[in-house]
Structures are given as C-alpha cells and as structure tokens.
Structure 1
Amino acid sequence: MRIALLGGTGDIGEGLALRFGRDTDHEVLVGSRDPESARDAVAGYEETLEAHGAEATVKGFVNEMVTDRADVAVLAVPPYHVGDTIESVADALDENTILVTPAVAMKRDDGGMQFHPPSAGSTTELVAQRAPDGVPVVGAYHNLPAARLADLEADIDYDTPVVGTDRDAVRTVVDLTNEIEGLRALEAGPLSNAAAIESLTALTITLTMYNDARDLGVKWQE
C-alpha cells in the first residue's frame, strides 16, 4: 500500500512517516508544495530510520504527485490549509483514494486551548465537504502527540478514534494504524461524531498546560 503524507514535512507528517516507515512494509510518500522541501525531509527521515535499523521505502514529491500515487492520503497540514491543499490535489483524488484528516481547529484563551470548529461542525466534516464527490474521507490521528511520534526512541501507547461514513475506508485505516507498534485504532462511527473526537485534542493540550506534562494522549481501558 502507498501512504501519502500531504504536507509531510511538518510535525505530524514527520511522526507518521517515521512510524509507518519503521513499523510497516508500506511505501511512504512525503508531499510538500515545494519538491525540494519534500526531498530534504525524506533525506532526514531516511537517516533517522536507518539509525534505528529500518529499511523503509520513503520518497518525496510535490503534493499532487504523491496523491496521484497513493492508496491512502493523509492531510498532514494545519486546519487553515486543508481547503487549499484539497483544491490543489483534487484532480489526483478519486473513489480509490482514502483521504484522512487529523486536523483540529483550536484557539487559545485565558483558560487554555479551546475547540473552535468551522461551520461544518468539525474539520473532518469540512474536509468531506471540500473533497471531490466519491472520495472516502476518514478522520484519524487527531489526538496523537506529534513530537513523541517523531521520537523513535520513545515508546507509545495511545488510542486513536477513527470516524467515517464509508465503513470499508474506516476499516482500512484502522487496520493500517494497528500495524504501528503502540497505536490502537478504534472505530468511532460516522463523520458526525468527529466534533466530539476533535474536541479531545483541545482538552488534552489544556491538561498538558495545567499539569506541566508532556506527550499526554488518550487510552481507553476495559
């Protein structure tokens, strides 16, 4: 399977590239608006992976090119860039490409970090509105601490809820995510549940601020 990380030179893109590269056999494609930035990021990721004994296939191209080659495309960009990014790669998206979004719209006030959803209700639902017809959209990875993901010396033990209307697409993302050591993906229903999940990210950051903690995440136990 080919996994494209659009905006894969950023924090969450780096973390996912390294974890998928180390823990799975899938081809990882790092995208950027600037092909040189993509190539530079890949060189760094390959160096990190080699230092950890991983023989991963990681390549870097512009966003449009990695999308065209992808089975799963992750919008690893801030929420204010999802619309522009989708528009730039729209011609490369079709019903055979699963579009995954981890973006969460938030703002900070005196109390901490607050969930600040768009009029669509959530960033995930906004992505579904902006994506071309027929493209399956899945929300995942919202609550994962990017810095810890990118630190391959650090063990992780997190759950990540996965939402989507297309059940087959959700199952694909769940299965793919569960290949990463220390991650457990949990099906969380349709896209209409995305707001509740995205709000957990703001809460987690607020807890981090008030408790002088690092890399807080979510883990559900029976």
Structure 2
Amino acid sequence: MQIALVGGTGDIGEGLTLRFGRDTDHELVVGSRTAEKAADAAAAYEETLADRGIDRSIEGADNETAVEGADVVILSVPPYHAEDTVDSVGDAVGDDAVLVSPAVGMQGDGDGLHYHPPSAGSVAALVADAAPEGVPVVAAFTNLSADRLTDLDEEFDLDTPLVGDDDDAKARVADLAEGVEGLGAVDAGPLANAAEVESLTPLVINVARYTDDLEHVGVKFV
C-alpha cells in the first residue's frame, strides 16, 4: 500500500513513519506544507532507520502531492487543523483512499488532561464532515504516544481501537496497524463511537502521570 502521512513532520507523523518504515514494506510519503520541509524530514527518518541497518526509501512532498495515489492518508496534524487540512488536500485524495484520523482534542490544567472534542462531537466526525464525498474515515492510532512510537527501542504490546462506518476501510487500516510489531487493532464500532475512543487518550496520559511505574502505560484488550 501507499501510505501518505499528511503533516508527517510532526511527532505523531515521525513515530508512525518510523514504525511503518521498520516493520512494513509499504510505500511511505511524508507530507508537509512545503515540499522542502517534507523532504528534509523524510531524509532524517531514512537516516534514523539506516542507523539500525534498515535501508528504506521514504519520499517527501507537499501535502497535496503526498496524497495523490495514496491508499491510506493519515492526518497526522493537530486536532483543530484537521478540517482545514482535509479541505486543502481533498481534491487530490483518490476515490479509493481511506482517511485516518489519529488526533484527539484535549485541554490541560493543573489536574491533568481532559477530553475536549470539537462541536462535531469528535475529531474523527470533524474529519468525516470535511472529507470528499464517498471517501471513508477511520479513527485509529489515537491512543498511541508519539514519544513511544518514535523510540524504536520501545517494545509494544498494545492495541489501537478503530472506529468507522466502512468495514472494508477498517479492515485496510487494521492490516496497516497490525503490521507494526507488537500492535493490535480492535474494532470499536461505527464512527459514532469516536468520542469514546478518543477520550481514552487523556485517561491514559493521566494514569501515566499519577501512577508510579506506569509511565509507559497503554491500552491492551484481552
């Protein structure tokens, strides 16, 4: 599959690119607002993998070019940039592509992080409202720490819940997720359940903050 990581120069984009680059043979394209920034990031990711003996080619392009021909488009952008990002690349997204939303709206205070969804009810719903007609949206990777993804010495034994209204799209994203060593994918139902899935993220972060020896806490369904 060809995987486009829109906003792939950020933390979550870096982490997912490195994991996909190490553990899968999918074609990877890192997107950014400028092709130069994307190319620089892609080269840095290649170097990180090369240091581990992995010879991997990763492309870099502006976001609109990155999504052309992609089978899966991962919107690795901050939650309140998701709608504008979809608007900016929508015309280039193929009819057979799947949009993946890993973003979670959160606000922090002295007590911790709290789920703060947009008016659409979830970031995934916001993306779905902005998506080109007929292009399915799947929420996935919402509960994964960018720091842990980026640290390739960190071993996973985690699951990521998936929500979406198109079963074939969810199956495609599940195959992508399960290609990452130690990561499983579980079906959490339709897109209407995205708020419940996204709200796991501040919970996990707060548990890590307040519980000794659980700084690497994650979600595993057994």
TM-score, normalised to structure 1, is: 0.96
Q: Look up the SS of the partner of 1:148 in the other structure.
A: helix
Q: Look up the SS of the partner of 1:108 in the other structure.
A: strand
Is the contact between residue 70 and residue 94 of structure 2 (CA under 8 Å) also seen in structure 1? no
Is the contact between residue 67 and residue 92 of structure 1 (CA under 8 Å) also seen in structure 2? yes
CA deviation after TM superposition for structure 1 residue 56, in Å: 2.1
1:136 is matched by which residue type in structure 2? Answer: P
Q: Look up the SS of the partner of 1:22 in the other structure.
A: helix
Report what 2:54 is aligned to.
54
The aligned runs of 1:1-222 (5 Å cut-off) are 1-211=1-211, 213-221=214-222
1:68 is matched by which residue type in structure 2? Answer: E
CA deviation after TM superposition for structure 1 residue 170, in Å: 0.2
CA deviation after TM superposition for structure 1 residue 55, in Å: 2.4
1:143 is matched by which residue type in structure 2? Answer: N
2:118 is matched by which residue type in structure 1? Answer: P
CA deviation after TM superposition for structure 1 residue 111, in Å: 2.3
Is the contact between residue 147 and residue 215 of structure 1 (CA under 8 Å) also seen in structure 2? no
User: Percent identical across equivalent pairs?
Assistant: 56
User: Cα deviation per residue 1:75-123 (whole Å; 9 max; x = unaligned)?
Assistant: 0000011011111101112321100000000101232111011111111
Is the contact between residue 8 and residue 76 of structure 2 (CA under 8 Å) also seen in structure 1? yes
CA deviation after TM superposition for structure 1 residue 53, in Å: 1.9
1:14 is matched by which residue type in structure 2? Answer: E
User: Cα deviation per residue 1:192-217 (whole Å; 9 max; x = unaligned)?
Assistant: 11100100001111112222543321
TM-score, normalised to structure 2, is: 0.96
Is the contact between residue 158 and residue 183 of structure 1 (CA under 8 Å) also seen in structure 2? yes
Unaligned runs of 5+ in 2: none
Which moved further from structure 2: 206-215 or 83-92?
206-215
Q: Look up the SS of the partner of 2:66 in the other structure.
A: helix
Q: Look up the SS of the partner of 2:29 in the other structure.
A: strand
Cα distance in 2 for partners of 1:216, 1:65 equals 36
Is the contact between residue 136 and residue 169 of structure 1 (CA under 8 Å) also seen in structure 2? yes
Which moved further from structure 2: 186-195 or 109-118?
109-118
User: Cα deviation per residue 1:27-46 (whole Å; 9 max; x = unaligned)?
Assistant: 11000001111111111100
CA deviation after TM superposition for structure 1 residue 26, in Å: 0.5
Cα distance in 2 for partners of 1:58, 1:21 equals 8
RMSD of aligned residue pairs (Cα, Å):
1.1
Q: Look up the SS of the partner of 1:69 in the other structure.
A: coil
CA deviation after TM superposition for structure 1 residue 18, in Å: 0.5
**Number of residues paired by the alignment?**
221
Is the contact between residue 162 and residue 186 of structure 1 (CA under 8 Å) also seen in structure 2? yes
2:185 is matched by which residue type in structure 1? Answer: A
